[in-house]
Amino acid sequence: MTVHQEVALAHLTTIGTGGPARAYAEPATLAELEETLRRARDEGLAVMTVGLGSNVLAADEGVDALVLRLTGELAAARAEGTLLSAGGGATNAVCLHRARDAGLGGFEFACAIPGTAGGGVWMNAGAYGSDWSAILTRALVATADGSGWLTPSDLGLSYRHSDLREGQVVAAVEYRLEPRDPAEIRTRVRELVDARKATQPTTKRTFGSVFKNPPGELGAGRMLELCGLKGHRIGGAVISPKHANFVENAGDATSADCLALMAEARRRAREQFGVDLEHEVVLLGEISLD
């Protein structure tokens, strides 16, 4: 397996910003993944997995780490009975298609999440009233010392959170779904896709939701809208005029622009509502909001 050097993360993320990764690889089997993790440990390199790059913001200066994208059998999915098995790099779209073709329901909510099976486990992704913890039976987690299956309880899944840490990579997942008419699945997915298009900037370059919803009835998007932030721009980044919990790349944004917008959004939410919003997007490299 080839390990590439100095690969631009702007080409690997949906927001389209970020400097180079020190190293980049695409393991296609569990053996390749484990060997890559061992090599990274021996060389003192941190390991980060980007999936589709839809929930990450990478430092403009680059990331001193080995960045992984899972491919091959680690990105495949298949259904057997009511069980859907997928590699950690399998896209949610592929998993949904496999489930639908097998007449399995329960995964429809993921049509609103442009990510991968492993990314879903990492952050307990969710939408429209469901999340990974509701359908996950177990996940195969690889480290430099080997691999092992973990249950949702082992993973510590809660709202947009798992206990997984740097150096752990979700190599495979198993979902327990339920029999459902494929026509019903198609109808439900169409409804959710239409709802997403109506409320979110699906045709713009974003990294997905910026902040987690705080406790209470007021979500992060509505809170930031009430702060007057829709359309607010810094450099090449703009808070979406369609949904205030999204940052759009208006064409020449940098990660620094995005961070500045996020910091301003947090400041206004704290000032107007007394709430400290917690970012949902994963920050790669030497960057933070603190």
DSSP 100: H
Among residues 85, 133, 162, 209, the one annotated as catalytic is 209
Half-sphere exposure of 116 (CA within 13 A, CB side): 29
Whole-number pLDDT of residue 185: 98
Among residues 38, 39, 160, 205, the one annotated as catalytic is 160
Mean pLDDT of 229-248: 98
Q: Is 280 a known active-site residue?
A: yes
* Burial of 175: CB neighbours in 10 Å, binned 0-12, 13-18, 19+: buried
Residue 143 has pLDDT above 80, yes or no: yes
DSSP 237: E
140/260 Cα distance (integer angstroms): 37
- Distance (Å) of CA 215 to CA 218, 222, 229, 281: 8, 13, 21, 18
Q: Which residue has the tokens 């009975």?
A: 81
Topology agreement, domain 3-68 and domain 75-198? no
Q: What is the pTM of this model?
A: 0.94
Residues 98-132 pLDDT 10s? 999 999 999 999 999 999 999 999 999 999 999 99
Mean pLDDT of 44-56: 95
Q: Which pLDDT band holds residue 267 (cuts at 50, 70, 90)?
A: very high
Whole-number pLDDT of residue 289: 87
From the options 3.10.20.30, 3.10.50.40, 3.40.50.2000, 3.30.465.10, give the CATH code of 75-198: 3.30.465.10
At 276 the three-state DSSP class reads: coil
Residue 290 has pLDDT above 80, yes or no: no
- Averaged confidence pLDDT in the chain: 96
Among residues 26, 32, 248, 280, the one annotated as catalytic is 280
What ranges do the domains of the chain cover? 3-68, 75-198, 204-284
For residue 28, count other CB atoms closer than 10 A to its CB.
18
Mean pLDDT of 256-268: 98
Mean pLDDT of 154-162: 96
Mean pLDDT of 29-40: 97
Q: Which pLDDT band holds residue 211 (cuts at 50, 70, 90)?
A: very high
Residue 151 has pLDDT above 80, yes or no: yes
Q: Which pLDDT band holds residue 234 (cuts at 50, 70, 90)?
A: very high
Provide CB contacts within 8 A for 223, sequence distance 6+: 214, 244, 269, 273, 275, 277
What values do phi and psi take at 197, rounded to 5?
A: -65, -30
Whole-number pLDDT of residue 243: 98
- Where does 204-284 sit in CATH, by number? 3.90.78.10
DSSP-assigned states of every residue in 133-185: GGTEEEEEEEETTEEEEE-HHHHT-BTTB-S--TT-EEEEEEEE-EE--HHHH
Mean pLDDT of 45-74: 96
Q: Is 160 a known active-site residue?
A: yes
- Where does 3-68 sit in CATH, by number? 3.30.43.10
Residue 1 has pLDDT above 90, yes or no: no
Residues 177-196 pLDDT 10s? 999 999 999 999 999 999 99
